[in-house]
Structure 1
């Protein structure tokens, strides 16, 4: 039930081409888009939408199996309607025998501001959070913020690859939200 076959970014872009709302790629693929090259394998592909828009994913992925990940790790079918506030991840595959193709992550917002689900005091204008390239992707400093809590080996690899690409402003924001003592600051 947990076999992954991550969708290529071209497929993700095609699937979300008619979404009509903000969406972006996150995770290690967002870091690779920021640095302009692939440097590691990926077990999945993360697509982020805002909570205020998440129900529209049902139309974008019509005919797919969508499974809400209820913390702490229970999957249940998502067939209709809004997901509870505590649900931030939806696993998606084209059918019951297909591998999971993408993970839709649900982020919070307040008007034109992205709001961290970990700490509502951590905010950024959406225009700073979403970068535009081949596909829209999460700004590196925000991705590192997500990866910073308990960095795994792949997170350290992502940090090493992107740190030289961060602007002074991105570095300052990351230092502010991570606080003193984090080894990435």
Structure 2
């Protein structure tokens, strides 16, 4: 779905194309955002204004390898965009990168940098929340890695935009009991026990 932004139009690359580009990486990566929810649910159910790929911060330069020849722009500071230079290590606090094939092209891929501590993933908004890296993602039937559903919903819990509410409502039907328990606990820890999603999760049967 093509959309306009103050920094130019978005026309997200197809999921299959993104997967082909990142497949050669030997470091972890996952499809994130709404596409991750759809991969977990097993079918498409809404339009997407972008497509997100999550990498570990320590592996960030691998993105420049698989997107060689593209433009990469970092949200530094958040709410602005500036060129991400070749070989530059982005600091903590900068975790959002927009990518396009050239200056006259629309934005095609958004990169998100996640934190890791040894073999553990750490939630960047509250580092008390952690998971072993080998439990952070899943793999679709087509071999595409994506963020585990409960992890992706934790990220979406902060904003609760209309699309996030739709994702949560759709995903609630397929979350396992263990995933619901983890998500309830982590949303409560990060956002309080009265967060609407935590309330719905506790009532869900």
Q: TM-score category by the smaller chain? A: over 0.9
Q: Tell me which residue corresponds to 1:64.
A: 70
Task: State the shift of 1:31 in Å.
Answer: 0.4
Does 1:26 find its partner at 2:32? yes
Matches within 5 A, 1:100-139: 100-133=107-140, 134=142, 135-139=144-148
Alignment partners' CA distance in 2, 1:11 and 1:72: 27
Question: What are the equivalent positions in structure 2 for 1:165-184 lying under 5 Å apart?
Answer: 165-179=174-188, 180-184=193-197
Structure 1 stretches (4+) deviating beyond 6 angstroms? Answer: none
CA distance in 1, matches of 2:92, 2:8: 24
Distance in 2 between residues matched to 1:148 and 1:79, nearest whole Å = 32
CA distance in 2: counterparts of 1:146 and 1:95, whole angstroms? 30
The separation in 2 between residues aligned to 1:127 and 1:2, in whole angstroms, is: 37
Question: In structure 2, what is the Cα distance between the partners aligned to 1:17 and 1:141?
Answer: 24
Q: Which residue number corresponds to residue 157 of structure 1? A: 166
> Where in structure 1 are there 5+ consecutive unaligned residues?
none
1:85 Cα offset (Å)? 1.2
Distance 1:121 1:22 in 2: 22
Inter-partner Cα distance in structure 2 for 1:86 and 1:150? 18
Of 46, 49, 73 in structure 2, the residue corresponding to residue 43 of structure 1 is: 49
Question: Which string of whole-angstrom CA distances, capped at 9 and with x for unpartnered residues, describes residues 117-139 of structure 1?
Answer: 10111111122211111311111
TM-score w.r.t. length of structure 2: 0.87
Rounded to whole Å, the distance in 2 between the matches of 1:2 and 1:122 is: 35
Structure 2, gaps ≥5 residues long: 1-6, 199-205
Could you list the per-position Cα deviations for residues 88-112 of structure 1 after superposition, in whole angstroms to 9, with x for gaps in the alignment?
0110001111110010000001122
Aligned residues: 185
